[in-house]
Amino acid sequence: MEYALTKPTGILALPTAQPRCAVLVLSGSSGRVETDRVRLLAGHGAAALSLRWFGDQSSDTAQPPGICEIPLETFTPALEQLAGYSDHLAILGASKGAEAALLLAAHDARIRTVIALSPSSAVWANVGPGLDGREFPPRSSWTRAATPLPFVPYDQAWHDTRTQAATTAEGAGPPLFRTLYEQSLTTFADQVPAATIPVESIRGEVLLSAGGDDQVWPSDVFARDILTRRAAVGLATTYVTLPAAGHRLQLPGEPAPGGGAAMARGGSPAADRELGDALWARLCTALRLS
């Protein structure tokens, strides 16, 4: 059974039997509704919901045009709706959606499982324009209780040097943003501690996945940081990685991912599918899927 959501735009898919879990599915900076992923999860026993959480400028929603000071409370109605289907409440987020998923799980004890694909371990500055339509001055991507969360700014001195692998006969390839994040972590090292996501506060199960060839941001480094900090306080974390995979893994049965801004994402179709295959068994166990 499937329902289209209108406020905000989204989709809710239900399994034919009693749901084994209820999952909020969040996309990254593409802003898309994860229709295929929701359907995949519902086909294996989950109640799954995905919604558009920025960029919808209709009069009904008036969402920010970019990822700028998004209230974490934006996701509360969806979580409350999902909690009515199962007490095993989970969030699956990719990229910026994984950043949100980890923040939500750190502050909501109802969330029993968080699955973060190509995650960040810190809060970053806004991506694209803010509520006023401007990109500067930099602001946080998120707020909580109407207060902007501390964030790591982007180093405006960064220059995309390109790698030979991203250069074509026609000229330079799409931007490689990984080095922007790496440089910004160094430039603004004094701001990183305050911006660090408190993953030690997540008492539910945490499942991470990252490709070693992620060229969008160093999600493999971020994932290891999350793993290390949780281990230091005695909390177990599952981490699935593959050196050759990039930013966008592909779960079994999903079409090849597309959309979003032009940028180098690393990996290859084969490696991204292999990482998705490796993650799938762990994901099904964590969510009690068939």
Q: What is the mean pLDDT of the chain?
A: 91
Instruction: Supply the Cα-derived Rg of the chain in whole angstroms.
Output: 18
Nearest alpha-carbon partner for 120 in 205, 50, 35, 182: 182
pLDDT, one tens digit per residue, over 124-151 is: 999 988 877 788 899 999 999 999 999 9
pLDDT, tens digit, 9 for 90 and up, residues 20-74: 999 999 999 988 899 999 999 999 999 999 999 998 776 566 788 899 999 999 9
Is 105's pLDDT higher than 60? Answer: yes
- What phi and psi, each to the nearest 5 degrees, are found at residue 195? -85, -10
Angle value at C-alpha 145, between 26 and 53, nearest 5 degrees? 25
Beta bridge partners of 128: none
- For residue 169, name the pLDDT band (cuts at 50, 70, 90): very low
Q: In this predicted structure, what is the pLDDT of residue 164? A: 42
Give the pLDDT score at 167.
47
